[in-house]
Structure 1
Amino acid sequence: MNDQYGRRIHYLRVSVTDRCGLRCRYCMPEEGVEWVEHSRILSYEQIVRLVRAAAGLGIDTVRLTGGEPLVRKGLDKLVWAVKAIDGIRAVTLTTNGVLLAQQLPALCAAGLDGVNLSLDTLDRGQYAAITRRDLLPRALEGLEAALNTPGLKVKLNCVPMGDNDDQLVPLAALARDRALDVRFIELMPIGLGSSLPRRTQAEVLEKLEGAFGPALPCAQGGGSGPGRYVTFAGFTGRVGFISAVSHQFCESCNRVRLTATGFLKTCLQYETGVNLKALLESGADGAAIRAAMEGAVFAKPACHHFSAAGTAEDERRSMYQIGG
């Protein structure tokens, strides 16, 4: 699929739930979370049907997200079903890692290709403050399980927020001796994240070069996302940056999102898109669903405007409600 600006859209992020066992400060309120009713969440069968339609239009990469996708039972069955769809070449997962160690064998047997594990600190007290849960040992167990799984591509995602400044170097150092991509993702002003401090790519890189020396160029391939990578002398892995605010990359955007409630969302900042769950439940056939997808993708906005004033069309929900 191409949008009106000629961008090839081939990457679909699918949220399977809005639920999560953590309460990260930039994603969820500490309490009073209103979960979506189960009847409004896409069934696995509906997800497979929508991914099959998308694959017929050129989608070849699917990432399963949440909330926390591993809190939904039987996720390995969904991985297997999506990976079996003609045209889908990669199925990956974004997770906080807390439930990963015990579920990883079944997920890999189903065909999982990669894991992105979200981890903002290696300090247990700080982790508990950021996530509001004292579960760092379980997250690290999940990371080790992923790193010790042959053939599984592993990335670690950290959001620099100011209060975890002292953890940026230790996190990056995890790539020194392991075939691991450690990525620093600028906090986007969406939902709760709009009121929190953030660190830019330049600020993070300055800290890393102060610890490891000059950043060195390295291969940029190996994924479907917008990460830009460097390495440092003596490193086995890479350090990446996803900097949507300070280094806008909308001109090369290749993705859309399917929320847990079945809304095909074409840009993170805007509410634009189409309700595919409603189409499914109205009895629409495959041709009608594909036409709706094509129309929404063609109308995908040119770019976000995170650094400018808001508009009436801007997204008002938090990340766990959208799909990370």
Structure 2
Amino acid sequence: MSETFLEDNFGRRIDYLRLSVTDRCDLRCSYCLPKGFRDFGEPDHWLNFEEMTRVVQAFTELGVQRVRLTGGEPLVRRDLPLLAGQLAQLPGLTDLSLSSNCTRMDKLAGPLYEAGVRRLNVSLDSLREEVFARVTGGGKLHKVLRGIEAAQQAGFAPIRINTVAMRGVNDQEIETLLDFCAARGFTLRLIETMPVGSTGRDALEDFVDLQTVKRRLEQRFTLTPDVQPGGGPARYYRVAGSDTRIGLITPLSQHFCDTCNRVRLNAEGTLHLCLGQEHNYPLRDVLRRGAGVEDLKDHLRTAITLKPQRHEFREKPSQVVRFMAMTGG
């Protein structure tokens, strides 16, 4: 394995880290957390900002260029702009982004942008107040919309709207969501439900094959292949004659494991090597024993050898027992 970048046993270069700063969320999306769930990790078990910065430095010195802050809902972690500012100063880190539900973004957009966060993905599954409240366990749509507006005014770009497509819930709203994004210069990204935890498996009852959605959209639009900045798995298309883009994230109907370039570090310091497998490597104890960056790099090289070739969502849908919020989005 090269000393200058991370490469797994299947020749895939790892240059993208999704860093969860908390497993807690102020919403209860039906496909993510069970209703009434309270068994969250203790804050003392979460990595502190110094520990997070140290492990991210080890990653960047091994060629990881992109870091996305996730949760749970990352904005519930106190003083998040402080962490963002520390990470933004790391040599080699060229892209610091954020995934959020934006319920608290109206107050944090400015500080986060000033700290160095530039790109934003927003979870938004409906533009209908009653549907949004049902999916999110009582969330208020107007708070999200206010947060999105604040983020755009602060300078975040691109802003991408992430929508989990659900049959009988929002699948007939996709064109409306696309129009909403087109009017604001956003990109719409549609996501297939995944059997991550019991809630994810339950959500498969509402599974929507995005290949069928693409064919439906092609009856109204001409879609041409396109690209967007970032290291994620979406396949992008531009609506001909416009600047509007749509991305499809299709882990079940058209998986993208052969090009997977990412790993996830959860808030408690466990490195998850695949969203659809239980392969992991704990780093918290290593960090709290005082491991420096060079020692951490050795641990990361070992951890990457555990990354599996692909998920088994279809073959073994009950395999992943952790909820999405525990993994990091």
TM-score w.r.t. the length of structure 2 is 0.93
Per-residue Cα deviation, 1:206-225 (whole angstroms, up to 9, x for no partner): 33334xx2432143132211
Per-residue Cα deviation, 1:178-209 (whole angstroms, up to 9, x for no partner): 32110001111111111222111112223333
Amino acid at match of 1:204: V
DSSP 3-state at the match of 1:231: strand
| CA drift at 1:251 | 0.5
| CA drift at 1:90 | 1.0
Per-residue Cα deviation, 1:224-266 (whole angstroms, up to 9, x for no partner): 1111111224533201101111111100000000001000111
Contact 1:175–1:235 (8 Å) recurs in 2: no
Change over 3 Å in CA distance of 1:32–1:230 after alignment to 2: closer
Aligned-pair RMSD on alpha carbons?
1.5
Contact 1:169–1:207 (8 Å) recurs in 2: no
Q: What corresponds to 2:155 in structure 1? A: 150
Bigger mean CA deviation after superposition, 229-238 or 264-273: 229-238
| Count of aligned positions | 320
Change over 3 Å in CA distance of 1:86–1:169 after alignment to 2: same
Q: What corresponds to 1:205 in structure 2? A: 214
Contact 2:238–2:246 (8 Å) recurs in 1: yes
Q: What corresponds to 1:83 in structure 2? A: 88
Amino-acid identity (%): 36
Q: What corresponds to 1:282 in structure 2? A: 289
| Residue of 23, 39, 52 corresponding to 2:44 | 39
CA distance in 1, matches of 2:298, 2:286: 11
Amino acid at match of 2:159: V
Q: What corresponds to 1:166 in structure 2? A: 172
CA distance in 2, matches of 1:25, 1:64: 22
Change over 3 Å in CA distance of 1:300–1:148 after alignment to 2: same
| Residue of 46, 50, 55 corresponding to 1:50 | 55
CA distance in 2, matches of 1:307, 1:100: 36
Q: What corresponds to 1:136 in structure 2? A: 141
CA distance in 1, matches of 2:306, 2:280: 8
DSSP 3-state at the match of 1:260: coil
Bigger mean CA deviation after superposition, 186-195 or 116-125: 186-195
| CA drift at 1:299 | 2.5
> 1:3 aligned to 2:8?
yes
Unaligned stretches of 5+ in structure 2?
A: 1-5
Q: What corresponds to 2:3 in structure 1? A: none
| CA drift at 1:133 | 1.6
CA distance in 1, matches of 2:15, 2:192: 23
Amino acid at match of 2:23: D
Contact 2:224–2:240 (8 Å) recurs in 1: no
Change over 3 Å in CA distance of 1:284–1:150 after alignment to 2: closer
Q: What corresponds to 1:323 in structure 2? A: 328
Change over 3 Å in CA distance of 1:165–1:308 after alignment to 2: same
DSSP 3-state at the match of 1:21: coil
Per-residue Cα deviation, 1:137-179 (whole angstroms, up to 9, x for no partner): 0101111222333352211000001111222111111232332
Unaligned stretches of 5+ in structure 1?
A: none
TM-score w.r.t. the length of structure 1 is 0.95
Contact 2:88–2:116 (8 Å) recurs in 1: yes
Bigger mean CA deviation after superposition, 8-17 or 168-177: 168-177
> 1:12 aligned to 2:12?
no
> 1:291 aligned to 2:309?
no
Contact 1:178–1:236 (8 Å) recurs in 2: no
| CA drift at 1:310 | 5.1
CA distance in 2, matches of 1:216, 1:309: 34
CA distance in 2, matches of 1:231, 1:16: 33
| CA drift at 1:62 | 0.4
Amino acid at match of 2:217: L
> 1:266 aligned to 2:264?
no
Bigger mean CA deviation after superposition, 9-18 or 299-308: 299-308
